[in-house]
């Protein structure tokens, strides 16, 4: 799919296969138009079912998609209904000739009763804090990387329930350790379940340059606090992206996906892997220490106002060189801001580590950062059930290709 197609995906329709709380399939409803194309955007699917059929549903998981990768097209979802179908839905219900399988990697919130159990836990946390709900919980998103619900509260903004898969299992612990910093305030945390207070403000996808610079300063200050504390981070089961571990992971991935690579890409990646040990030696000589890496740092993972920013989504966090966060952020902002943001970022690290040369480390790390992205996507693919792999599988090859292209430069 071209980059233009991914920026402007086709419209989405949702076909709903309904089941009861026991998991018994009731039938399917004809597809309905959904206002957004993004497959994990479930609030729009719930709204479409309500508008078309006066039906309240909880979406459990995707069963199939018309297109081989996100987004748009017809998507078939399994949806749980807790009550008798209203007349409109009952009349429209048709037999479904598919079957529901069992998958060992299926997440609890993708099974009947799973979301209800998550909401019951959130309710218990709110009760202990003597906080009351102001209305029904709203299902916002559900896919292989998270289940997210908005819980309206009496007397204030909503709380947010986030449930994550095992490979993001450290996110709640990480947030707990960062509570004094620019992260969402925890209301409760239990394993994969995280209940957070509302951050306020707006998503910062289109932030102007002064706010982009403030984002960078915020991250660098936070990372500086964790220098010398790598053992604490690893004890929380964060991925190890330091030189030896990341070298091994990239080498294994290149061999594993070699058959899907062009000869030129494979040759460039082989050369990159062969030189990784010397490359990391050169990076270390630049004088910046390993520390906390956000792992998915871009303006869309920042929320707030121009003067109060909150950094979101700490599931991709790892331990490694701090400039691993640089390339993805630069690729997500307007081209006219890239030079100013890059120089601000490098200057911030020169201030943290006087005598260091981050300007030399950054180009050395550029192909490594791209290859690390491929490693992350492969971790997703390995940790999710087959139907969900279409979200990420192509990204592995795409990022390996980017790493090869950068290394050739």
Encode pLDDT of 6-34 as tens digits: 468 999 999 999 999 999 999 999 999 99
Please report the pLDDT score of residue 3 as a whole number.
Answer: 34
Give the separation between CA 289 and CA 392, rounded to whole angstroms.
Answer: 31
The residue count of the chain comes to: 409
- Using the predicted structure, report yes or no on whether residue 1 has a pLDDT greater than 70: no
CATH number of 108-197: 3.30.200.20
- Using the predicted structure, report yes or no on whether residue 177 has a pLDDT greater than 80: yes
Contact assessment for residue 151 and residue 124, using Cβ atoms and an 8 Å cutoff: no
- Using the predicted structure, report yes or no on whether residue 102 has a pLDDT greater than 60: yes
For 184, the token pair is 């969402």
Give the separation between CA 232 and CA 21, rounded to whole angstroms.
Answer: 42
% the chain with pLDDT above 90 = 94
Contact assessment for residue 317 and residue 295, using Cβ atoms and an 8 Å cutoff: yes
- Local confidence band at 4 (pLDDT 50, 70, 90 cut-offs): very low
Contact assessment for residue 98 and residue 63, using Cβ atoms and an 8 Å cutoff: yes
pLDDT digits 0-9 by tens, 239-294 = 999 999 999 999 999 999 999 999 999 999 999 999 999 999 999 999 999 999 99
Please report the pLDDT score of residue 5 as a whole number.
Answer: 37
Query: Domain 202-408 falls in which CATH fold?
Result: Aminoglycoside 3'-phosphotransferase; Chain: A, domain 2 (3.90.1200)
The β-bridge relationship of strands 12-19 and 73-80 is parallel
Classify domain 3-92 by CATH architecture: Alpha-Beta Complex (3.90)
Residue by residue, what is the 3-state secondary structure of 257-273?
CHHHCCHHHHHHHHHHH
For 387, the token pair is 């139907």
Average pLDDT over residues 139-159: 95
Average pLDDT over residues 46-69: 97
Return the SS3 of 320: strand
Give the separation between CA 367 and CA 371, rounded to whole angstroms.
Answer: 6
pLDDT digits 0-9 by tens, 333-392 = 999 999 999 999 999 999 999 999 999 999 999 999 999 999 999 999 999 999 999 999
CB-based contacts of 270, cutoff 8 Å, min separation 6: 254
Average pLDDT over residues 93-113: 96
Please report the pLDDT score of residue 344 as a whole number.
Answer: 98
Domain residue extents for the chain:
3-92, 108-197, 202-408
| Residue from 324, 312, 309 nearest 208 by CA | 309
Give the separation between CA 121 and CA 108, rounded to whole angstroms.
Answer: 14
Please report the pLDDT score of residue 249 as a whole number.
Answer: 98
Give the separation between CA 111 and CA 113, rounded to whole angstroms.
Answer: 6
- Stated pTM of the model: 0.93
Please report the pLDDT score of residue 282 as a whole number.
Answer: 98
Contact assessment for residue 345 and residue 288, using Cβ atoms and an 8 Å cutoff: no
% the chain with pLDDT above 70 = 98
Which ranges constitute the DSSP H helices of 154-262? 171-177, 209-225, 230-235, 243-256
Q: What is the DSSP string of 241-256?
A: -SHHHHHHHHHHHHHH
8 burial level (CB within 10 Å; 0-12, 13-18, 19+) = exposed
Please report the pLDDT score of residue 7 as a whole number.
Answer: 61
Mean pLDDT rounded to a whole number for the chain: 95
């Amino acid at each position: 799919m071209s980059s233009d197609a991914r920026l402007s995906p086709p419209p989405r329709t949702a076909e709903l296969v309904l089941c009861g709380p026991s998991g018994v399939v009731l039938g399917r409803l004809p597809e309905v138009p959904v206002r957004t194309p993004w497959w994990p955007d479930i609030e729009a699917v719930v709204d479409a079912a309500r508008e078309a059929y006066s039906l309240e549903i909880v979406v459990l998981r995707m069963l199939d998609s018309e297109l081989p990768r996100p987004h748009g097209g017809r998507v078939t979802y399994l949806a749980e209904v807790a009550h008798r179908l209203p007349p409109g839905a009952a009349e429209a219900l048709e037999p479904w000739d598919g079957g529901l399988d069992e998958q060992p990697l299926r997440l609890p919130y993708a099974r009947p009763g799973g979301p209800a159990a998550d909401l019951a836990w959130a309710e218990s946390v709110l009760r202990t804090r003597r906080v009351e709900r102001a209305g029904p919980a709203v299902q916002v998103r559900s896919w292989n990387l998270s289940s997210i619900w908005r819980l309206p509260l009496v007397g204030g903004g909503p709380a947010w329930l986030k449930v994550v898969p095992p490979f993001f299992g450290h996110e709640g612990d990480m947030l707990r350790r960062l509570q004094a910093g620019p992260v969402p305030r925890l209301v409760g945390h239990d394993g994969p379940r995280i209940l957070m207070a509302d951050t306020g403000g707006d998503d910062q996808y289109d932030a102007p340059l002064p706010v982009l610079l403030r984002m960078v300063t915020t991250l660098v200050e936070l990372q500086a606090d964790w220098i010398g504390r790598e053992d604490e981070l690893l004890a929380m089961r964060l991925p190890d992206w330091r030189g030896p571990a990341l070298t091994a992971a990239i080498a294994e991935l290149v061999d594993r996906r070699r058959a899907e690579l062009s000869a030129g890409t494979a040759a460039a990646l082989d050369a990159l892997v062969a030189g990784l040990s010397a490359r990391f030696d050169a990076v270390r000589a630049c004088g910046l220490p390993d520390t906390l890496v956000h792992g998915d740092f871009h303006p869309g993972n920042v929320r707030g106002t121009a003067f109060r920013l909150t950094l979101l989504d700490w599931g991709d966090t790892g331990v490694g060189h701090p400039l691993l966060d640089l390339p993805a952020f630069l690729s997500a902002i307007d081209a006219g801001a890239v030079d100013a943001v890059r120089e601000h970022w490098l200057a911030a690290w020169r201030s943290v580590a006087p005598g260091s040369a981050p300007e030399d480390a950054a180009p050395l790390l550029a192909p490594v950062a791209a290859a690390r992205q491929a490693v992350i996507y492969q971790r997703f693919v390995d940790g999710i059930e087959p139907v969900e792999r279409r979200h990420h599988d192509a990204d592995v090859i795409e990022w390996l290709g980017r790493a090869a292209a950068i290394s050739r430069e």
